[in-house]
Chains A and B, each alone.
Chain A
């Protein structure tokens, strides 16, 4: 017994020494400029009051949502006794979706506060540097121009990813302690995918903020513009689509094909909103019993077995939504990148 123990210790020690030597070498080696900017940006983010307050709000609301989920999870599981057989298999995911009505669920909170976080990280990325006169100083150093915008994006993404992974895992861990039912591997993977989708979604708003920060000289303007877009999609867009839907609604005597066409038109209109895409994706990921996102005819569900989808099939179902979200994120970044590369950088203007 003793011998392997000793060996183990020795090995660890060696490994530690190696690591320490490497680190020390790293200190004297010139650090790369890109990494230097990312490090500085990260340090700025986590010491700025704006972000600290937002993080505190997000952290508290997530704990609040966990509490309400805990309160209502018993009802949620037992109320649907007909589905008990498969519902029990996904009790753990309910931690993130159920609510007793007093506080929204974790999923809703992330969908609501995530964009705010993204905007808060991005809206003054470029224009505040410009106004402070630090951008032209940075540009006179031997670094390619895109380092600045890429590094800012990277730093924000690192922060978002760390925050959401930590938050999701903390909520999962606390939930595990309280309800005592461990997640299955599939549930865990669904949780991870949900967090990844959230990160992409927040990255979209981050890039929108960066785009406006490149476009507008005043941080206040770009913050307002980003928030306006966010409000539009989260509140007004669905109203507008509803109004439009009512206006073009076919009479009830239409044939099935026309009604289906109408439904899918409305659905596609809704899907222009990133919020809608995000909600569809997360609902599918966290609720395995969601089998379809569009209208279904009786013909289609005839003979279908009402069972939850496996993860692969759920992912397949939301593949278009994911593609759309990622595309929107990349388009925003590409536009701000191009815009930034073409701008002339003078001192404080």
Chain B
């Protein structure tokens, strides 16, 4: 692992009474693809805005490429490309003109700008659409144009806020492939935020999990599971007819079982170690008919389910 290129220290941002980001300490290393994973409103975008110096932190510090983002946002913005969530372009200008405008904002000369813009449009697969108005672009095309727009200043880091939102699966695959390629070939550090686990799982070297402004776990998928499910690393699922409360009580009393959840005729037993056979035995001895039983490995799906979806249903109720 290289050097830390983004350093967040005890970063806090308070909006009125709500802590959008709470005591966040995180290092992102040179050359990696880091995924910020979390539901909407968990503080991902706010963290990104603070990295770019677009919002001042209430307390704590952000250093990007060794530069304090709050004090010298321009120096940071020269090195960092940022693709906002649902990026917009000037509809009446062509894709190429939009890129040239960005180039001129970065004080790139016109000739150089045209050269780079054409190269990038080719790279993101928009060479044919370069002279079409940006208003006619599809969502996926706009996102790819956004990527070209971010790259025109030759950034060291690119920050992508929900880059895959609202694109069809094929488009997502292309975009992720492109991001991976940029990371490998140009050695660009990538930070992307998403609430789509599968996509994050596909390309990220490391993932940070955000809930309510707190970073609750960092690492690759395996490390995350280990951190998050400490104490109850195994989940056994069983499909059973005629579930009675007595059966659930019995299952919870098994040594090593932490808790039992019922979902119509499916039982989920969280345990400290593999209890599959004991569970099957208990169910059959109880007289209920066991139709299916399986041990589950944790993927990001489960992480998501446990930390986000559960929370959202709580809020709705």
Residue ranges of A at the interface with B (Cβ–Cβ < 8 Å) = 27-33, 36-37, 40, 44, 47, 132-134, 136-144, 344-348
> Whose C-beta in chain A lies nearest to the C-beta of B109?
A30
- In chain B, positions 82-126 with a C-beta closer than 8 Å to chain A are 82, 84-92, 101-102, 104-111
Question: CB < 8 Å: which of B80, B86, B107, B110 contacts A27?
Answer: B110
Listed from nearest, the 3 A-B pairs whose CB atoms lie closest are: A133-B88, A36-B104, A140-B82
Q: Give the CA-CA distance A30 to B45 in the complex, in Å.
A: 32
Q: List 24 A-B contacts (CB under 8 A).
A: A27-B111, A28-B110, A31-B110, A36-B101, A40-B101, A44-B92, A132-B88, A133-B86, A136-B54, A136-B87, A137-B89, A137-B146, A140-B80, A141-B106, A141-B153, A142-B75, A142-B78, A142-B105, A143-B105, A344-B55, A347-B45, A347-B84, A347-B88, A348-B86
Contacting residues, chain A, for B105 (C-beta < 8 A) = 33, 36-37, 138, 141-143
Q: Give the CA-CA distance A134 to B89 in the complex, in Å.
A: 6
Q: Is the CB of A346 within 8 A of B110?
A: no
| Count of chain B residues with a beta carbon within 8 Å of a chain A beta carbon | 35
Q: What is the distance, in angstroms, from B9's C-beta to the closest C-beta of chain A?
A: 22
Q: What is the distance, in angstroms, from B196's C-beta to the closest C-beta of chain A?
A: 18
Q: Is the CB of B74 within 8 A of A29?
A: no
Is B7 engaged at the interface, CB distance under 8 Å to the other chain? no
**Given A31-B107, A32-B107, A346-B45, 8 further pairs, Cβ under 8 A:** A28-B109, A30-B109, A31-B110, A33-B106, A133-B87, A140-B80, A346-B84, A347-B86
Q: Is the CB of A134 within 8 A of B77?
A: no
Q: What is the distance, in angstroms, from B273's C-beta to the closest C-beta of chain A?
A: 46
Q: Which of B75, B81, B102, B104 lies at the interface centre, i.e. has the most chain A CB atoms within 10 A of its CB?
A: B104
Contacting residues, chain A, for B106 (C-beta < 8 A) = 33, 141-142
Q: What is the distance, in angstroms, from B99's C-beta to the closest C-beta of chain A?
A: 11
Is B149 engaged at the interface, CB distance under 8 Å to the other chain? yes
Q: What is the distance, in angstroms, from B289's C-beta to the closest C-beta of chain A?
A: 53
Q: Is the CB of B108 within 8 A of A345?
A: no
Contacting residues, chain B, for A346 (C-beta < 8 A) = 45, 49, 84
Q: Give the CA-CA distance A134 to B55 in the complex, in Å.
A: 17
Question: Contacts A27-B111, A28-B111, A132-B90 given: A137-B104 contact, CB under 8 Å?
Answer: no
Q: Is the CB of B109 within 8 A of A132?
A: no
> Whose C-beta in chain A lies nearest to the C-beta of B142?
A133
Question: Contacts A142-B106, A143-B105 given: A347-B85 contact, CB under 8 Å?
Answer: yes
Is B52 engaged at the interface, CB distance under 8 Å to the other chain? yes
Q: Is the CB of B84 within 8 A of A33?
A: no
Question: CB < 8 Å: which of A30, A136, A140 contacts B108?
Answer: A30
Contacting residues, chain A, for B87 (C-beta < 8 A) = 133, 136-137, 347
Q: Is the CB of B74 within 8 A of A142?
A: yes
Contacting residues, chain A, for B32 (C-beta < 8 A) = none
Q: Is the CB of B52 within 8 A of A140?
A: yes
Q: Give the CA-CA distance A32 to B81 in the complex, in Å.
A: 19
Q: Which of A137, A138, A345, A348 lies at the interface centre, i.e. has the most chain B CB atoms within 10 A of its CB?
A: A137
Contacting residues, chain A, for B92 (C-beta < 8 A) = 44, 47
Q: Is the CB of A140 within 8 A of B54?
A: yes
Q: What is the distance, in angstroms, from A342's C-beta to the closest C-beta of chain B?
A: 10
Question: CB < 8 Å: which of B49, B80, B85, B90 contacts A134?
Answer: B90
Q: What is the distance, in angstroms, from A128's C-beta to the closest C-beta of chain B?
A: 10
> Whose C-beta in chain B lies nearest to the C-beta of A130?
B88
Contacting residues, chain A, for B52 (C-beta < 8 A) = 140
> Whose C-beta in chain A lies nearest to the C-beta of B150?
A140
Q: What is the distance, in angstroms, from A49's C-beta to the closest C-beta of chain B?
A: 11
> Whose C-beta in chain A lies nearest to the C-beta of B74?
A142
Contacting residues, chain A, for B74 (C-beta < 8 A) = 142-144
Question: CB < 8 Å: which of B77, B109, B110 contacts A140?
Answer: B77
Contacting residues, chain A, for B84 (C-beta < 8 A) = 133, 136-137, 140, 346-347
Q: What is the distance, in angstroms, from A118's C-beta to the closest C-beta of chain B?
A: 23
Contacting residues, chain B, for A33 (C-beta < 8 A) = 104-107
Q: Is the CB of A344 within 8 A of B54?
A: yes
Q: Give the CA-CA distance A346 to B55 in the complex, in Å.
A: 9
Question: Contacts A28-B111, A346-B49 given: A137-B88 contact, CB under 8 Å?
Answer: yes
Question: CB < 8 Å: which of A30, A140, A348 contacts B88?
Answer: A348
Contacting residues, chain A, for B81 (C-beta < 8 A) = 140
Q: What is the distance, in angstroms, from A138's C-beta to the closest C-beta of chain B?
A: 7
Q: What is the distance, in angstroms, from B82's C-beta to the closest C-beta of chain A?
A: 4
Question: Contacts A31-B109, A33-B107, A346-B45 given: A141-B54 contact, CB under 8 Å?
Answer: no
Question: Contacts A344-B49, A345-B54, A347-B85 given: A141-B90 contact, CB under 8 Å?
Answer: no
Contacting residues, chain A, for B104 (C-beta < 8 A) = 31, 33, 36
Contacting residues, chain A, for B153 (C-beta < 8 A) = 141-142
